[in-house]
Amino acid sequence: MLINVPETVVADALRGIAIAHPELTVDVERRVIIRRGAPYEGKVGLVSGGGSGHEPLHGGFVGRGMLTAACPGEVFTSPVPDQMVRAAAAVDSGAGVLFIVKNYTGDVLNFDMAAELAEDEGVQVAKVLVNDDVAVTDSLYTAGRRGTGATLFVEKLAGAAADEGAPLDRVASIARQVNEASRSFGVALSACSTPAKGGPTFDLPDGELELGIGIHGEPGRERRAMMTSGEIADVAVDAVVEDLRPEAPVLLLVNGMGATPLLELYGFSAEVHRALTERKVSVARTLVGNYVTSLDMAGASVTICQADEELLRLWDAPVSTPALRWGC
């Protein structure tokens, strides 16, 4: 691993982000990344966060038209409430703050505590939970569906609405609409290695793949012999389409887990496109790249979001962040 010691991995990365992105204010000590110039008068602030190891999520999505602040936790560990409270205070213009929370026990507990504390300090807070992962089928006897690729859609589309000056309840309702209209499914070709463990978090032999993985190096629900890109695309597309049954064109994210080359990812995205077309799902926009990663895991996830005209307009709206940039 290209690190100094496991204990300083997150702080070291934050120092690097600060140098590469002077348009962001990076508080390395307190672990908050804030869009320079915040708070923006009359605009809702968007705060997200989660464990590190998913870069560019979330810090790479701070900027115009997306997040106003991000709170990175330790690797695969949710941030602590102090970070979100600090971020909320820094970005609140008086128009309120939306917390975008991926549905994991730790993230939910820490953001809930933070929301209470921020409200005590006079910040109006709304929360949206992202839970798009269809691989978690049994929500009753689990912690519920995980938040994965749809986080990018929620942050982009709600961020565009906030940038246009929409009020807090409107920004929050768009965020919820996007989450409800999104589904994801992920596949791993290799496990990832956390700095703390120094080796793979689970054992996945060559020639096998893991279906229905999360983004924290946790294994999926089923292991199979290696399949072709086209076969994997069929499995992933079946999973998301059968669950969502979209009746309108979709936004498509074909997301790399961190160690899959773009050459393979683009090939996979062509297969995903083919599989969607065969199932009569039309694709309005396609984004391909490593956006919601799991350290050095090889593999990919497919996220679709059923989009009406309004969501398509918000998708095309200008965005300027380290990881996503167009229209500016």
Partner 1 sequence: MNALPDAPVDASFLLRWLDTSATVLDREANRLTLLDSPIGDADHGTNMRRGFIAARTAVGQEPPDTPGGVLTAIGRHLISTVGGASGPLYGTLLRRAGKQLGDEPAVGAERLRDALRAGVDGVAQLGGAAAGDKTMLDALLPALDAMDTALAGGGSTTEVLDAAAKAAAEGAEATTPLRARKGRASYLGDRSIGHQDPGATSSALLVAALADTAREASA
Least distance CB 213 / partner 1 (angstroms):
9
C-beta closer to partner 1: residue 194 or 290: 194
Residue 115 backbone dihedrals phi, psi, to 5 degrees: -60, -40
User: Minimal CA–CA distance to 148: which of 100, 194, 173, 185?
Assistant: 185
Least distance CB 294 / partner 1 (angstroms):
10
Identity of the residue numbered 97:
V
- Cβ pair 207, 226 in contact under 8 A: yes
* Burial call 34-59: b when 16+ CB within 10 Å, e when fewer: bbeebbbeebbbbbbbbbbbbbbbbb
Least distance CB 63 / partner 1 (angstroms):
25
Q: How many helices (H) and strands (E) does the chain have?
A: 8, 14
- Cβ pair 258, 213 in contact under 8 A: no
C-beta closer to partner 1: residue 140 or 263: 140
Pick the catalytic residue from 21, 54, 58, 273.
Answer: 54
Dihedral angle of Cα 106, 111, 117, 121, to the nearest 10 degrees = 160
Residue ranges in contact with partner 1 by CB under 8 A: 6, 51, 73-82, 104-106, 109-110, 113, 135-136, 138, 141-143, 146, 194, 196-197, 201-202, 214, 216-219, 221
Please report the beta strands in 104-165, taking only residues with DSSP state E, as ranges in sequence order: 125-130
Catalytic annotation on 216? yes
Torsion region of 81: left, alpha or beta (phi above 0 gives left; psi -120 to 50 gives alpha) = alpha
C-beta closer to partner 1: residue 151 or 321: 151
C-beta closer to partner 1: residue 6 or 267: 6
C-beta closer to partner 1: residue 45 or 214: 214
DSSP-assigned letter for residue 258:
B
Report the C-alpha gap between 95 and 143 in whole angstroms.
32
User: Minimal CA–CA distance to 327: which of 206, 163, 182, 184?
Assistant: 163
Least distance CB 254 / partner 1 (angstroms):
22
Least distance CB 147 / partner 1 (angstroms):
12
C-beta closer to partner 1: residue 6 or 165: 6
Residue 220 burial (CB count, 10 A): 20
C-beta closer to partner 1: residue 76 or 315: 76
Least distance CB 152 / partner 1 (angstroms):
21
DSSP-assigned letter for residue 68:
S
Pick the catalytic residue from 21, 58, 216, 273.
Answer: 216
Least distance CB 145 / partner 1 (angstroms):
9
- Cβ pair 135, 123 in contact under 8 A: no
- Cβ pair 145, 179 in contact under 8 A: no
CA 98 to chain centroid: 15
Which residues are part of the catalytic machinery?
A: 54, 216
